[in-house]
A = this chain, B = another copy of it.
Amino acid sequence: MELVAIGMVESSLTDRESAPKQGDEGAPEATLVFAPHVAEGLDGIAAGDELLLLTWLDRARRDVLRVRPRDDPANPIRGVFSTRSPDRPNPIGLHRVTVVAVAGLRVRVRDLEALDGTPIVDVKPLLRTVDER
């Protein structure tokens, strides 16, 4: 189960401490720079699309199973699988973003809390319930 990078995040965010914890908490615009070998897979992505971006959180710890959510001392410690902590056995980041513009292999998005240089591993359309499809 080996992931291949299909691109990389270009962002003004460079360290975890100063990054917002969720994309809709003041995260900046960022650029998804895709690798030439996946160019055909981008066909159909356009400005205004809401996407789920999957990344590999390469600065996370993989030996953490229990955390205090949002690093807030008021929160009780709990298992990582009921939190969005980046520290977890498989540090896959899941980010809901809106496409601002597409220029070839460069896709500009809103509301991305991933750090500069984070590898991209997948992109999917937003999950919808059957009623919305």
Contact = CB atoms under 8 A, between A and B. Distances in A.
B56 A92 contact: no
Interface in A52-104: 52, 54, 56, 58, 65-66, 78-84, 88-90, 92, 94, 96
Interface string A37-50: 01011111100010
Range class of the A interface residue count: 35 or more
- How many copies of this protein are present in the complex? 2
A5 to B, nearest CB: 7
A12 interface: no
Chain B CB count within 10 A is highest, among A45, A90, A92, A119, for A90
A30 B24 CA distance: 33
A83 B78 CA distance: 34
Contact of A54 (B6, B92, B96): B92
5 contacts: A44-B79, A45-B79, A45-B81, A83-B125, A84-B124
